[in-house]
Amino acid sequence: MKTLLITPPIAKIRVAFHQSPSLPLGLAYIAAVLDQSHNVKILDNYLENLDKEELKKRIHLVKPEIVGITSDSFSFSYAGEIANAVKEVDKNIITVMGGPHANVFPDAPLKHDSIDISVYGEGELTVIELWNKIEKGGSLKDVKGIGYKNNDKIVINPPRELIKNLDELPFPARHLFPMDRYERREKQYLDNIEPIDWMNTSRGCVFNCTFCDTREIFGIYRFRSPENIVDECELLVNKYGIKGVYFREALFTLNKKRVLGICSELKERGLDIVWACDSRIDTIDKEM
């Protein structure tokens, strides 16, 4: 099915914390699984910042059957405006919303007249099943991890099980994004290293800190293998010419054996890159 995936523009409340646009990794993972069976286009409106009329022109050019919109809580109202624009172009286009806001409040998007379906939890397996159901005209009642409307009544289906083996996921579909337009720098940790890219190598957490939503949204801790991680690093070096990687996740160093395995794999393959990560100091020792 012809699909357009859209990110909202930056919310005004976030301007004070504005960072230069970078690849939206979550959406890139969704694009990667859909790209295997469907015709997928991307409109990163965080990068483009199109007004409503320009947005409608772009939607009209693509002529999608489904539009997927990602949104956090800050940009939720902007995501709703995008959904309105979609329906003004063609009311028959199916609108699906996912992202952090829908993860926590799966019913919230469905209170918006222009949003047909919400996706919550890990979206990769959910969107594969959802898109196939829509394409074949099947019922949505058995699709886990979604909410939808049934005769104006909001229905929230049971959650989908967490993905156990993250190595089975394809790498983010960077080839669908305008990589040359992103400012591929990380000023806090990798200053003067350019270009760099972002990667996620795990999901979830074993801790339950009050200031963090990682465990609430992503559940129990799961991680990718060193070989799979360095395969992606190698791709980034060879195809996108990166000089550094920021492992952008909550707890990179939890599994010591895995971290040492990543270091060994990088050395064995001769990948001359600088990298940075986020973690907890009590998960790091002298050997690491």
Q: How far apart, in Å, are the Cα atoms of 52 and each of 49, 86, 87?
A: 10, 10, 12
pTM of the model: 0.93
Range from 13-17, 88-92, 249-253 carrying the lowest mean pLDDT: 13-17
Q: How far is CA 76 from the centre of its chain?
A: 16
Distance (Å, rounded) from C-alpha 285 to C-alpha 273?
22
244-247 and 222-223 strand pairing: unpaired
Average pLDDT over residues 70-76: 91
Q: How far apart, in Å, are the Cα atoms of 126 and each of 58, 145, 234?
A: 27, 6, 29
Confidence of residue 192 (pLDDT cuts 50, 70, 90): confident
Burial of residue 120 (CB within 10 Å: 0-12, 13-18, 19+) is: buried
Whole-number pLDDT of residue 63? 97
CA nearest neighbour of 55 among 14, 1, 6: 6
Confidence of residue 19 (pLDDT cuts 50, 70, 90): low
Is residue 56 pLDDT above 90, yes or no?
yes
Range from 65-79, 178-192, 254-268 carrying the lowest mean pLDDT: 178-192
Burial of residue 72 (CB within 10 Å: 0-12, 13-18, 19+) is: middle
Element (H, E) at 217: helix 214-218
Burial of residue 201 (CB within 10 Å: 0-12, 13-18, 19+) is: buried
Element (H, E) at 277: strand 274-277
Is residue 189 pLDDT above 90, yes or no?
no
Whole-number pLDDT of residue 13? 47
pLDDT tens for 84-106 read: 999 999 999 999 999 999 999 99
Element (H, E) at 132: helix 124-136
Average pLDDT over residues 281-285: 92
Please provide residue 96's backbone torsions phi and psi, each rounded to the nearest 5 degrees: -125, 130
Whole-number pLDDT of residue 184? 86
pLDDT tens for 233-247 read: 999 999 999 999 999
Whole-number pLDDT of residue 250? 84
pLDDT tens for 123-176 read: 999 999 999 999 999 899 999 999 999 988 999 999 999 999 999 999 999 999
Is residue 280 pLDDT above 70, yes or no?
yes
